Amino acid sequence: MNRVDKKFRELRSQKKPAFIPFITAGDPDLQTTRDLILEFEKRGADIIELGIPFSDPIADGPIIQASYHRALVKGVKVANVFDMVAKLRSESEIPIVSMVSYSIVFKGGCERFVEKAIQAGLDGLTIPDLPVEENDELFEIARKKDFKIVCFVAPTTTDQRMALIARKSQGFLYYISVVGITGIRDKISEDVVQNINKLKQMTNIPIAVGFGVSTPEHAKLIGRVSDGVIVGSAIVKEMEKHANGFFDKKTIKSIGEFVGALVRGAKD
């Protein structure tokens, strides 16, 4: 069984939501990425969303765009990310889903990319720039290999298209809580609960909510109505405070404490 399915099954039996932190691979370097993943797991994170740096991000706001730029300047490539994950697997079995641009997947061939991702120890992909109507080949490849392709639903998604996405998504559904790009928000949109409940009528697949979730209070609200809470920009912003410094054990611990507070909020 895929690690993502296993984790959500475990959490559902406990009636707890998954906490899913996002970080950019290679920001500030891959050793720190590895250390942060292990720290987040220790703090109670359930699944990691690992961004593969890309020069032209589609849905990412300025905070995550800046983290991609820092990683790319350091020369981080997909092969380096895969190698880091492969080495991490000797220390951790935490599910890892990678956010990646479809152009990166397509460039080397969908089947080849999925095979390499599986060999590295990844459990799935989120691909924000791949329309659900255009991914049949990739979905079939992933299905045969028990690898998950996670789809996005936005507040503006029509009911008809929402049903299609709910039917095709694997592992979990990623519900975007705001219209626009990733970033820190002051409050959660009121239509989130309504749309999550609508999705629950369409599918039994877990529903995780991201974009704009930035405080333990946000995480608590989202955790009460969804199967997963995704936090990205707030964590990357916390890391950004140390962007020009050395990520020693004290810094890793500090960021871990920030994530731990979000975990507690989500599972409260």
**What's 134's DSSP letter?**
G
Q: Is 191 a catalytic residue?
A: no
Longest dimension (CA), the chain: 49
Q: Is 49 a catalytic residue?
A: yes
The residues near 130 (Cβ < 8 Å, ≥ 6 apart) are 102, 105, 138
Q: 208: burial class by Cβ within 10 Å (0-12, 13-18, 19+)?
A: buried
> How many other CB atoms are found less than 10 A from the CB of residue 103?
14
Active-site residue, from 27, 35, 41, 60: 60
Structure tokens at 107: 């460039």
Is 79 strand, coil or helix? helix
Active-site residue, from 5, 39, 41, 49: 49
How far apart are alpha carbons 249 and 162 in whole angstroms? 44
Structure tokens at 240: 């950004």
Task: Look at the chain and count its residues.
Answer: 268
| Closest listed residue to residue 218, CA positions, set 156, 153, 268, 150 | 268
| Closest listed residue to residue 262, CA positions, set 18, 34, 71 | 18
Catalytic site residues?
Answer: 49, 60
